Amino acid sequence: MKTRFNKNEMKTRLFRITLTSLFILILLPSCNKEDYGDSGNLTPAKPIVLTRSQESFVKTNTTFALDLFKKAAGSASGTSMVISPLSVTFALGMVDNGADGDTRKEINDVLGYGEDGIDELNDYCKTILKESSKVDPSTTIKIANAAVVNSRHGNLKKDFSSAIESYYDALVCNKDFSKEDIQKYVNDW
């Protein structure tokens, strides 16, 4: 059976074949072993050892992360953005240390930690913070946390400061926002 094409169909078909061929010719040379190093010399990933409670939190926190992405993508149509669910988890974890009552319950519920409490959340965040850089020695991970507070409104409580310094490796400082360029201070930090 012979198939006949008119001139326009033939030109379109030829254009598609040419375009596909060019794409393949451009793509193939750019994918070579040297770009990724010698895969035979890769160091196996070192898994992070978690408690059962922390393993459960990974699952619920993944749900939190996906929901966060969906809401951010829905509210940012037509714009570009970068969002880190891990950073949001750490920020809410630090705030949770200064919260109590309904506020603490809501933060724990949003993060999916529920009734396990702030101690479990702190331990999880500290484990992730300390161990994530050891998973793959060829990868560098830098996470920075800080609480910069306007000293005109008082100082942070010692328990709160100690918790976020210890569990989140956070800088804690009081600054007079009326006398210092806080934006420059934070950006330089």
Q: What is the pLDDT of residues 83-120, one digit of tens each?
A: 888 899 999 999 999 998 899 888 888 887 776 678 88
- Check residue 140 and give left, alpha or beta (phi > 0: left; psi -120 to 50: alpha): beta
Transcribe 126-168 into DSSP letters. Answer: HHHHHHGGGS-TT-------EEEEEGGG-PPPHHHHHHHHHHH
For residues 120 and 58, what is the distance between their CA atoms, to the nearest angstrom?
A: 12
Q: What is the pLDDT of residues 10-24, one digit of tens each?
A: 555 555 555 444 444
Q: What is the pLDDT of residues 27-50, one digit of tens each?
A: 444 444 554 555 566 778 888 888
pTM of the predicted model over 0.85? no
The DSSP bridge partners found for residue 150 are: 175
Here the tokens at position 51 are 């408690």
